[in-house]
Amino acid sequence: MADSFKNYDLFNPTEEHKMLREMVRDFCKTEVEPQAEHYDQAEEFNLELFKKLGPLGLLGITSPDDCGGSNMDAIAAVIAHEELSMSDPGFALAYLAHAMLCVNNLAENASPEQKKNILPKLCSGEWVGCMAMSEPHVGTDVMGMKTTAKLSGDHYILNGRKMWITNGTIDENKTPADCVLVYAITGEANNRPEISTFIVEKGTPGYSVGQKIKGKTGMRASNTAELVFENCKVPVANLVGKEGDSMLHMMKNLEIERLTLAAMSLGMAKRSLQIMVRYAKEREAFGKPLSHFGQIQKYISESYAEFQASRTYVYETARRMDQFNHRLDSDGVKLVAATMAKNVADRAMQVLGGYGYVSEYIVERLWRDAKLIEIGGGTIEAHQKNITKDLYKHIEHIN
């Protein structure tokens, strides 16, 4: 048995995965890294660069090949997000909102006709997509949403507002995303709101951008916006699945969303660790390299161990993602990796001292960006609740 694992690489299990990592890493070196600081400072989304991900096969990385996708697995999605986040987490977040929240969601849940009509445009980069669930007054409490969709002949009439939507607008002129998946209440069943999923395209009457969110702590290279639906007429053909199917859609897609958010944390932690180690090796104090001092060694060693533990957990979860329902560990990897990345970036700033506090050494940007992963895609408190609840039901997972 030992021989069968001799050449196994958890992080690049196949030659295809290895080639993907090398391709994304090269793309980041030549295209993503040079623009990252500028777009962070400008709080702008680099749409031109984003569209270059289409020909690389990244925008539909988990989508079927007959719809323009690359038909790759969860490990491939993790690799792409980890590598992109080493250079520009904000840009990577815009990528995640498109490729995971919109494209993968449609690939999993849409009808054959909907996939045929929409996925090729999203996979090629012709269209930018997003998903709209959170509202101004509600985030984690999905059942508390107020947006409604009422059937009227051959259309649904959507009314409501969505908030904190990544890719909600694609430019400074508040141009809406080309395609947004919108969750709305269509009725009530068993004394609970019945939530349904709708495809809303740019140009649909009643669909507009309210405000573009400015002044974010981090992830500034991705646009965040409020979306407004005022008597928005959506054809019945744009209902995804059946009325009331949204909770199933959410559960199927939240797992890979949280997995790839955890992968983003890996990228931020890895870059912070690299910078920290290099600086401690080259910088001297009292005639000795910083790496000679015990406190610096503590920062570096703990960061490395925590990063490797989180990385192993993320990739092992990705390996098993396609095999069975995986909410327990998709919550688990994000819970662990999010805080790990924030702590590693914080230690890197501490090791670099004043240099860590300015943009030249990048870690201050990574530190700002890392915090978002503890909030977006489910707060760490929500993960703690979900994990505890699931373990009550399935105690056999602890063995």
Which CATH number belongs to the domain containing residue 27 in this structure?
Answer: 1.10.540.10
Does a structural domain hold residue 139? Answer: yes
Question: Per-residue pLDDT tens for 92-117?
Answer: 999 999 999 999 999 999 999 999 99
pLDDT at site 160? 97
The whole domain housing 78 covers 2-128
Question: Per-residue pLDDT tens for 209-221?
Answer: 999 999 999 999 9
Question: Per-residue pLDDT tens for 315-363?
Answer: 999 998 875 557 889 999 999 999 999 999 999 999 999 999 998 889 9
Q: Are residues 122 and 17 in the same domain?
A: yes
Q: Are residues 221 and 303 in the same domain?
A: no
Question: Per-residue pLDDT tens for 388-399?
Answer: 998 988 777 676
Q: Are residues 255 and 388 in the same domain?
A: yes
Instruction: Spell out the residues 6+ positions from residue 142 whose beta carbon is closer than 8 angstroms to its own.
Output: 133, 183, 195, 250
How is 160-215 classified by DSSP, letter by letter? Answer: EEEEEEETSBSSTT-PBPSEEEEEEEEEEETTEEEEEEEEEETT-TTEEEEEE---
Q: Give the Å distances, CA to CA, from 139 to 76, 165, 201.
A: 29, 11, 23
Q: Which of 214, 245, 276 represents a domain boundary (last residue)?
A: 245
| Percent of the chain predicted with pLDDT > 90 | 83
Total of domains in the chain: 3
Q: What value does the mean pLDDT take over residues 67-77?
A: 96
Q: Is the torsion defined by CA of 250, 253, 259, 263 positive or negative?
A: negative
Hey, what amino acid is at 261? L
Q: Which residues pair with 234 in a beta bridge?
A: 156
pTM confidence score: 0.95
Is the pLDDT at 1 greater than 50? The verdict is no
- Tell me if 172 sits within 8 A of 221, measured CB to CB: no
Does a structural domain hold residue 398? Answer: no
Is the pLDDT at 6 greater than 70? The verdict is no
Question: Per-residue pLDDT tens for 135-191?
Answer: 988 766 777 899 999 999 999 999 999 999 999 999 999 999 999 999 999 998 878
pLDDT at site 139? 67
Tokens 């009550």 belong to residue: 392
Query: Would you name the residues annotated as active-site residues?
Result: 257
Q: Is the torsion defined by CA of 249, 250, 255, 258 positive or negative?
A: positive
